[in-house]
Homo-oligomer: A and B are copies of this chain.
């Protein structure tokens, strides 16, 4: 059972995902700035896992506050929230978790500082537990959509490692189907440049003994044309109100290919990933990362010196390519503007 981020009395513990699959090393982050660095530098990644980590980061920052004045704590809270909020721009779960922690802080400002610390630690643990419970429900609802004896393509890692743990979102759907007694094989694309597919998804599924075949990102079209793929399931970093889906770069490409081959394309995400304030995918900020992720693997140079590089970390898949969005409240289908809003009302 994989839980990639944990609260402990010593600080926030994170499995260093940069070292997988060859090394399993845990870090103990003793300040909120270390948690922010961990998110920015992708010790932990994946929208729900970033949300849980940010909540723990705030709880840790507040816990470490040494003042005695509530106004000073409020100033410190804002600074902690701002620091964590600047780590990564696309995953909305980050801002969702920060906002939720802020609301709880504001609602409890009249209490003692020591009480506030305990309340925020408890709230961050609740966020974590609710996240795992959401994945469990996503697994249950999503598992029903997959057919027995089918092969599912997934892109990037939307597994336990990308969430609070245990299930995952896209891999949660696959685990849910397996738990329902179905025989499911997985095709994982490697997901350049950061190789979340080969390093993380392959590693997770091997642990669960779910059959997985690794391919390069540019091989999915060929396998779909050969009839090797019966469904696609991916996670998301932010879903706009109209059902446009931001997810790891390359998701849009897989979605276009799936449509071309009449293969269902499912997105699995908790409602904390749905951003009703964002009307369409056009408004979702797309992170651009260090070009060294593309030009080098560790110290090995893959491209000529001085080459110009684009390194978009995410893309947006328009809602017309999305067969269904699987949430902890059930399965949303087009038109998403209505079906997603309804999920929040229920």
Q: Give A contacts to B, CB under 8 Å.
A: 21-22, 155, 187, 189-193, 195, 198-199, 202-203, 206, 211-223, 225, 249-250, 252-253, 256-257, 260, 294-295, 297-298, 300-312, 315-316
Q: Contacts A217-B192, A218-B249, A249-B222; is A199 near B257 (CB within 8 Å)?
A: no
Is the Cβ of A218 less than 8 Å from the Cβ of B250? yes
Q: Which residue of B lies closest to A185 (CB)?
A: B308
Q: Which of A198, A212, A218, A225 has the most CB of B within 10 A?
A: A218
Q: Contacts A199-B303, A225-B252; is A294 near B190 (CB within 8 Å)?
A: yes
Q: Kindly provide the distance from the CB of A186 to the nearest chain B CB, expressed in whole angstroms.
A: 10
Q: Kindly provide the distance from the CB of A39 to the nearest chain B CB, expressed in whole angstroms.
A: 22
Is the Cβ of B214 less than 8 Å from the Cβ of A217? no
Q: Kindly provide the distance from the CB of A159 to the nearest chain B CB, expressed in whole angstroms.
A: 13
In addition to A202-B304, A211-B308, A214-B307, 10 A-B residue pairs with Cβ atoms within 8 Å of each other are A155-B218, A190-B192, A190-B294, A198-B303, A203-B304, A206-B304, A219-B250, A219-B315, A223-B310, A225-B315
| A225: B residues at CB distance < 8 A | 252, 315-316
Residue in B187, B215, B222, B302 whose beta carbon sits within 8 Å of that of A252 in the complex? B222
Q: Contacts A216-B193, A218-B253, A294-B216; is A206 near B307 (CB within 8 Å)?
A: yes
Q: Contacts A310-B223, A315-B222; is A256 near B249 (CB within 8 Å)?
A: no
| A215: B residues at CB distance < 8 A | 294, 309-311
Number of chain copies forming the complex: 2
Residue in B21, B218, B223, B302 whose beta carbon sits within 8 Å of that of A217 in the complex? B218
CA distance A237 to B163 in the complex (A): 43
Is the Cβ of B216 less than 8 Å from the Cβ of A249? yes
Residue in B190, B206, B256, B308 whose beta carbon sits within 8 Å of that of A221 in the complex? B256
Q: Which residue of B lies closest to A221 (CB)?
A: B253
Q: Which residue of B lies closest to A248 (CB)?
A: B218
Is the Cβ of B198 less than 8 Å from the Cβ of A216? no
CA distance A213 to B303 in the complex (A): 11
Q: Kindly provide the distance from the CB of A198 to the nearest chain B CB, expressed in whole angstroms.
A: 4
